[in-house]
Amino acid sequence: MKFATFADRAGTIDAEPADLEIVAHVRELLADAGDEIEIVARFAQGRVFPAWDSTTLDIGPSACYEAIARAAGTNVSSNDVEERLAEVGEIGDVAARYDFGGQQGLGAFTGGGTDDSGAGGGTGGNGTGGDLTVREVAETLADLAAAEGSGSHDRKVDLLFGLFNRCSSEEARYLARLVLSEMRIGVGEGTVRDAIAAAFDVPKERVERALQVSNDYGRVARIARDEGVDGLDAMELDVGRPVQAMLAQAGTVTDALEEWETAGVEWKYDGARVQLHYDPGDGETRVFSRNMEDVTDALPEVVEFADERLESPVILDGEVVAIDEDGSPLPFQEVLKRFRRKHDVAKAREDVSVRPVFFDCLHAGGEDLLEEPLTTRHDRLRSVLVDAVDETGSDAAAIDDEDIEGLSLLWRTDDPDEIESIDADALEAGHEGIMLKNPESTYSPGRRGKHWRKRKPDVETLDCVVTGAEWGEGRRATFLGTFELSVRAGEDLETVGKVATGITDEKLEELTDLLEPHIEAEEGQEVDLEPAVVFEVGYEEIQSSPTYSSGYALRFPRFQAVRPDKEPANADSIERLERLQGQ
């Protein structure tokens, strides 16, 4: 397909406000794309490379302005381009206002006419364009992306200049937008999916599945056209090509249990998402980020983990967590110091090390597992990881999940109290809290669906008086913990719950210093406290309950802060609790 035809169709789509009409235009575009259907499907979305491919053109706006200026003629500078852009606001409009091909005109005058890069020649001078094909554009942009090292800037500008020099105004408009990732003609992923289904008469859900496993709109379009539904259904995950990550919504324990009866519960690790692709056949281990960027070189620990522990091709989904010397998790900011690092990785590793924890398995034993329920996928994950532990040939089933390195534990429960204690353990171990997952759910790449919920952040907080506490145990024996919370009821205070979660050791030490002077009585580990200190606490829900003297109980209370500015007399009252419960 000529690039001029593509630009012309892109212009029609750009001017079309109605979504359905846009789908119809993209359908026609794909139907007419011939051999270049893969490229056209990508270009329409403003992509030069498939979605799974993290290659970038690696060309900044200023290099693009330079190329435009050169193609526009000797009397135009990059500054002029930038100034026009400031006036017009959009690079496509700027490029479309120049008359390209001036360099060829100049060449013709001096007897040259073309240059040997093929860039300035042909029939496309003086802004007429017309001979450039989408394939030439794609190939030139691939060469441009591949240019690296010294001289690469000039090479990139030369290649781009060559393309602009052969463009008409409309071609230049869409070339500039494509190069700067500003295509924006209203063609999203859903549009291309619907257009493929309509153009080649295949069901949308089958196109959707093929897109999920391949992350390649171009290939799916071609296979839908050439091989129909059977071809689409035969598409599989490829070890080495990233899959979009399944995402979570915020949600409460109560909602999760109501919907699923039994919830899968996991710790929510405070790190960065990683997808591990391991294939001993080609000796390749690749690690991808949540955005499908290749981060392998930045995370040698993950590669070593795979080399030491895995045996057959797998795709695992998990989180990489920064750890201190004892293996305890460090805050998220520490992972960031490692995650996309390109230089001095060994040095950075000395400062902060990371470890992977996997919670899902998308492919193992030659089988794609996306359609399997979470529990099956987790069992497969366990068996992939247990092999490494089980070198002695002992009974793999008897090995405790906790002893399997790299395995995130999955509890299945319908008991809110058990979930509360898993949440408390997660926080105590220095993690972010919990994830709730529907045990029956399949893996939906790229979806922020309702089958994965991260426990909702507390929206409301309460200011409660601390009226009691317990001495801790073991390492925490010298700290007060598990604080009893009360609210005002007229002149009195009535209990409403206990908070033990959300508090670091450092904070516990501070709270002990603050509360110890207010101890009125002690029995065993329990202490009564004179009402003096006010805590701000978050919670998930207020329930009517006989457990506490107020008649209410806070579900999942979490410590937020001490309120030194508040006296017990300014703490929240039972009336506020009643009002909040009614909301």
Ligand X SMILES: Nc1ncnc2c1ncn2[C@@H]1O[C@H](COP(=O)(O)OP(=O)(O)OP(=O)(O)O)[C@@H](O)[C@H]1O
Asked whether position 335 contacts ligand X by CB under 6 A, the answer is: no
User: What does the radius of gyration of the chain's CA atoms come to, in whole angstroms?
Assistant: 30
Interacting stretch for ligand X, rule CB under 6 A, among 160-168, 219-227, 266-274, 539-547?
A: 266-274
332 is in an annotated binding site: no
448 is in an annotated binding site: yes
Q: How far is the CB of 408 from ligand X (least distance, A)?
A: 5
List CB contacts of 579: < 8 A, sequence separation 6 or more. Answer: none
Taking alpha carbons only, the member of 546, 532, 539 closest to residue 577 is 539
- β-strand pairing of 480-489 with 461-471: antiparallel
Asked whether position 454 contacts ligand X by CB under 6 A, the answer is: yes
Torsions phi, psi for 222 (to 5 deg): -65, -45
Nearer to ligand X by C-beta: 100 or 443? 443
Q: Rounded to an integer, what distance in angstroms lies between the CA atom of residue 81 and that of residue 225?
A: 41
Q: How far is the CB of 583 from ligand X (least distance, A)?
A: 25
Asked whether position 135 contacts ligand X by CB under 6 A, the answer is: no
Q: Residues 382-421 vs ligand X: string with x where CB under 6 A? A: --------------------------x-------------
Contacts within 8 Å (CB) and 24+ apart, 18-27: 19/186, 19/191, 22/186, 22/187, 22/191, 23/191, 23/194, 23/195, 23/198, 24/195, 24/198, 26/187, 26/191, 26/192, 26/195, 27/195, 27/198, 27/199
273 is in an annotated binding site: yes
Nearer to ligand X by C-beta: 41 or 245? 245
Q: Rounded to an integer, what distance in angstroms lies between the CA atom of residue 169 and that of residue 129?
A: 8
| Helix, strand, coil content of the chain in percent (nearest 5) | 45, 20, 35
Asked whether position 423 contacts ligand X by CB under 6 A, the answer is: no
Among 145, 175, 202, 248, binds ligand X (CB under 6 A): 248
Residue with tokens 């035969």: 234
Read off the tokens for 527: 């202490």
Q: How far is the CB of 448 from ligand X (least distance, A)?
A: 6
Q: How far is the CB of 319 from ligand X (least distance, A)?
A: 4
Q: How far is the CB of 263 from ligand X (least distance, A)?
A: 13
Rounded to 5°, angle at Cα 319 from 317 and 320: 130
Q: Rounded to an integer, what distance in angstroms lies between the CA atom of residue 301 and that of residue 297?
A: 10
Total chain residues near ligand X (CB under 6 A) = 14
SS3 499: strand
Asked whether position 319 contacts ligand X by CB under 6 A, the answer is: yes
Among 247, 336, 352, 519, binds ligand X (CB under 6 A): 247
Asked whether position 164 contacts ligand X by CB under 6 A, the answer is: no
Q: How far is the CB of 454 from ligand X (least distance, A)?
A: 5
Do residues 78 and 70 make contact, with C-beta atoms less than 8 angstroms apart?
A: no
Nearer to ligand X by C-beta: 238 or 432? 432
**Among 156, 268, 437, 498, which one carries the catalytic annotation?**
268
Nearer to ligand X by C-beta: 436 or 487? 436
Is 456 among the residues known to form the active site? no
Interacting stretch for ligand X, rule CB under 6 A, among 150-158, 262-270, 490-498, 544-552?
A: 262-270
319 is in an annotated binding site: yes
Residue with tokens 């690690």: 287
Among 59, 211, 364, 435, binds ligand X (CB under 6 A): 435
Asked whether position 320 contacts ligand X by CB under 6 A, the answer is: no
Host H or E run for residue 433: strand 433-437
Q: Rounded to an integer, what distance in angstroms lies between the CA atom of residue 372 and that of residue 493?
A: 52
Asked whether position 199 contacts ligand X by CB under 6 A, the answer is: no
Interacting stretch for ligand X, rule CB under 6 A, among 69-77, 252-260, 265-273, 490-498?
A: 265-273
List CB contacts of 442: < 8 A, sequence separation 6 or more. Answer: 370, 371, 372, 373
359 is in an annotated binding site: yes
Find the residue with minimal CB distance to ligand X. Answer: 247
* Residue list for the binding site: 266, 273, 290, 319, 359, 448, 454
Note the residues at the interface with ligand X (CB under 6 A).
245, 247-248, 266-269, 273, 290, 319, 359, 408, 435, 454
* Residue list for the binding site for ATP: 266, 273, 290, 319, 359, 448, 454
